[in-house]
Structure 1
């Protein structure tokens, strides 16, 4: 039974967010890392994200039953009742918020995590996902919170770097999610979810994807001239951004949109992983602005 509850938290999503959260924490920490605090932050945010995913599973159990990739989820096949899932999700979120505050004494980090939780479980899951082509954008607001929470937990404040992190991770999720919507179009169509590529068409989505990738690269690079990151990070931004943009442009003449979308999805994960690693190791180098 514990496996069913673990599935309810969507471990893959939780793990992915832990990587971006760590990058934000390392970016703010620079050379001095409080490892015990980082572990607490990772655990607390993982609990809250797991709770949010559980709530999403509860609300989406009807449409999950209509999609091939989600029809075996615990809420769909009856492994877990709605009442049991709610009793599981509630304590997860509460313990996560309490642990984050106790471990950081940073109200800003807790408040940002709470806003992300409310946006995801409330605005996105309950309404925008089912009724608006802008659901992806609304969902990105909460999806971009982990690295910001990590940054604020380490620094104790919300500053320009935190804002840049939030914007760049918001933008990153758009081409990433559009790619999923393209190669999973049959599932979204079966569940009548109005994702942008399905409503406006793949050609329009491809143009938006290119624009989002370009914007992401530009915003991500801002951390360098503003003095928050150095040459290692700049090199990572340019190399990964140009590669991602090249894949995006190839989509304009792609013969197989499904194959292309899967490639775009894969490289989007590679890009965010590379930048997260670059943020983490770049703390050992002086900011690029100081090298000019």
Structure 2
């Protein structure tokens, strides 16, 4: 009997953790945190970042991103229940009550992340972290998502602010390397997300969300993704003119080339299967780009 009760307790704990991971969109938060730390590591500046600064930056970005992700789910409960991909989210299922206490918790989470960055890093980094959360939580979720296909284009600036936050830890002044990577993240987000939107085309149409595939169709969207990715890859090569060297160039060309290859496949066959492959290719491209940038700076910088 004791063993059975213990097993039930562990099961409940596991379910709760899974619900929180879902609510806070921790996968997105981890991508943003890793991006911020990578940019911190490659940004030239008057000071050398410490391990503790990296840890604090990662936690601050993760907390603010979690706050914005939870707010997104709180505001979109009505949409989420219409789509199979999101109908198991905790505010839809009733696992978490749709109460104002959750809004307060999200605000506290954001304030803790921003305050942590402000006190331990600097106020400019804290400002960028705050702006990233507001862009995703308010600009994208509240203002744009239900109104225009440009929602994810403008909302993509949230990732750009993570880049600028990482750079600001080393040098609060805007310099070419972080600005270029901020543009890269801005361009990366639509190519990344529109691929998923093709997969979820019918769900978005049913929910009345004006994602690009719903507005112009999957094939036309695939062409837009390819054009956007061409701009993304071209911009991603520019850091070699501002201090990064051949290791980074090799990574940018390899990751970018693979992403473009998947984009071309998507134009030829804009099916959900190929769109999902393109979605994962976008993640590979970003990871390769950041990893080779860090290695380049550590070995050749």
Length-normalised TM-score, structure 1: 0.92
Match of 2:103 among 63, 81, 86: 86
1:156 Cα deviation from its structure 2 partner: 3.0
2:252: which partner in 1? Answer: 237
Residues 117-155 of structure 1 deviation map (CA, whole Å, 9 limit, x = unaligned): 222111210121111011110110113221221121122
**Residue 61 of structure 2 aligns with which residue?**
45
- Answering whether residue 293 of structure 2 is matched by residue 276 of structure 1, we say no
Which structure is larger by alpha-carbon Rg, 1 or 2?
Answer: 2
Contact 1:209 1:248 in 2 (8 A): yes
Q: Residue deviations 1:98-117, cap 9 Å, x none?
A: 0001111x222122222222
Structure 2 runs not aligned, ≥5 long: 1-12
Instruction: Report the aligned-residue RMSD.
Output: 1.7
2:273 aligned residue (259, 263, 274): 259
2:117 counterpart residue number: 100
Aligned to 1:171: 187
User: What residue number does 1:126 align with?
Assistant: 142
Asked which structure has the greater RCO (Cα within 8 Å, sep 6+), the reply is 1
Q: Structure 1: where are the runs of 5+ without partners?
A: 288-292
Matches within 5 A, 1:144-183: 144-183=160-199
1:214 aligns to what? 230
Shift of 1:191: 1.2
Q: 3-state SS of the aligned residue for 2:145?
A: helix
Shift of 1:32: 4.1
Q: Give the Cα separation in 2 of the matches to 1:160 and 1:83.
A: 42
Partner of 1:17: 32
Give the TM-score normalised by structure 2: 0.89
Alpha-carbon distance in 2 for matches of 1:226, 1:279? 12
Q: Distance in 1 between matches of 2:73 and 2:226?
A: 31
Q: Contact 2:48 / 2:170 at 8 angstroms: preserved in 1?
A: no
